[in-house]
A = this chain, B = another copy of it.
Amino acid sequence: MNKPVCQIAAALVHHPVYDRIGEVVATSVTSVDIHDIARACRTYGLNRYYLVTPILAQREMVDRVAGHWSEGAGGKAGHPRGPALELVRTVHDLQSAIEDFQLTFGIRPQVAVTSANPMRDATSFADLRKTIESGKIPGLLIVFGTGWGLADSIIEKSDIRLEPISGPTEYRHLSVRAAAAITLDRLMGVSIY
């Protein structure tokens, strides 16, 4: 019997997120967020990386960058960015990412949100890793927030709230790129020795 497989995608949300004073805003998409998180998604075997922004011009920018490296001149040159940027899709809100996932994989994903702050009824990384490996859930969408974090409206509608990433200090200000990489490593990373 084949091992049960969980289809996994990541979403990086640029709206609705908080700014430093707690207002709901739309942040700008940055080039480094496209590339770094796409490369981490490819490393850890994810099937899609959704960039979520209501701003059409920014979705068009992302599509141009991803197209260049996956199908255009950059892709033809065989640069390793190609296989990573093939995973990129742009959507105007998180609901559209869920719908695209469902259309693509035939599964409604469980939505797991992340935060630098503890959330109620949080799930540990170890527990979610076990759930993925057990094949108990067939689809998972891991959601990261830019700015000062995902708005409560996103968190309230989620199925799974992941524990915050911690080191041995009280400092909790990782970049979203670092947090996404660590999250994927904690859930899907392996040691070869």
Binding site for B on A (CB under 8 A): 32, 35-36, 39-40, 42-45, 80-81, 83-84, 118, 122-127, 163-169, 171-175, 177-182, 184-186, 188-193
Contact A173 B80 (CB under 8 A): yes
Minimum C-beta distance from A51 to chain B (A): 16
Q: Which residues of B contact A185 (CB under 8 A)?
A: 165, 167, 182, 185-186
Contact A166 B189 (CB under 8 A): yes
In this complex, what residue of B is CB-closest to A181? Answer: B178
Q: Which residues of B contact A180 (CB under 8 A)?
A: 178
In this complex, what residue of B is CB-closest to A190? Answer: B166
CB-CB under 8 A for A168 and B191, given A173-B80, A174-B39, A181-B182? no
Contact B43 A167 (CB under 8 A): yes
Contact B181 A166 (CB under 8 A): no
Contact A184 B166 (CB under 8 A): no
CB-CB under 8 A for A169 and B122, given A163-B193, A175-B39? no
Q: Which residues of B contact A164 (CB under 8 A)?
A: 192
- The 7 sampled A-B contact pairs (Cβ below 8 Å) are A32-B177, A40-B175, A43-B167, A43-B172, A165-B185, A167-B184, A177-B181
What CA separation (Å) do A60 and B168 show in the bound complex? 31
What CA separation (Å) do A185 and B122 show in the bound complex? 20
What CA separation (Å) do A191 and B122 show in the bound complex? 12
CB-CB under 8 A for A45 and B168, given A175-B36, A181-B181, A182-B181? yes
What CA separation (Å) do A81 and B189 show in the bound complex? 28
Minimum C-beta distance from A162 to chain B (A): 10
